[in-house]
Amino acid sequence: MKELLDNYYNNKKIKTVLGKGTWFNGSLNFKDSLKISGSFSGKINSTGFLIVGEGAIVKANIKADSIIVHGTIDGDVFAADKVEMLPTGRVYGDVKAKKIKISDGVIFSGSCEMLK
């Protein structure tokens, strides 16, 4: 997964970034890729790739194709493909995805459901 992230960063394929000093409240829809480094509260619906950056706080139910968690998510998570929780990640909610990877050090409080 680190290779995937490196490719996104190096090839500048992350289309949108909500920076560390940014906070957003509402409904967010996007098609490509988004990295949240600040705070978000509301609902996220996407057919793309979401990165919750280290130190980010997201209080939302999330639906996306793939999700990588470095920061904190408080809400339910649905990924059509995969969810990867990295060592600094925290998820407080239920997770549904075809593939779920939970690294050592993750704080996870919820249930997991593997989709077919």
Structure confidence at residue 5 (pLDDT): 55
Which band of pLDDT confidence, cut at 50, 70 and 90, is reported for residue 15? confident
Structure confidence at residue 11 (pLDDT): 46
Structure confidence at residue 106 (pLDDT): 97
Q: How far apart are CA 99 and CA 90, in angstroms?
A: 17
In 3D, which of 88, 89, 77, 87 has the Cα closest to residue 115? Answer: 77
Q: What is the pLDDT of residues 51-81, one digit of tens each?
A: 999 999 999 999 999 999 999 999 999 999 9
For the cut 60, the answer to whether the pLDDT of residue 102 exceeds it is yes
Structure confidence at residue 3 (pLDDT): 56
Least confident range of 7-16, 29-38, 104-113: 7-16
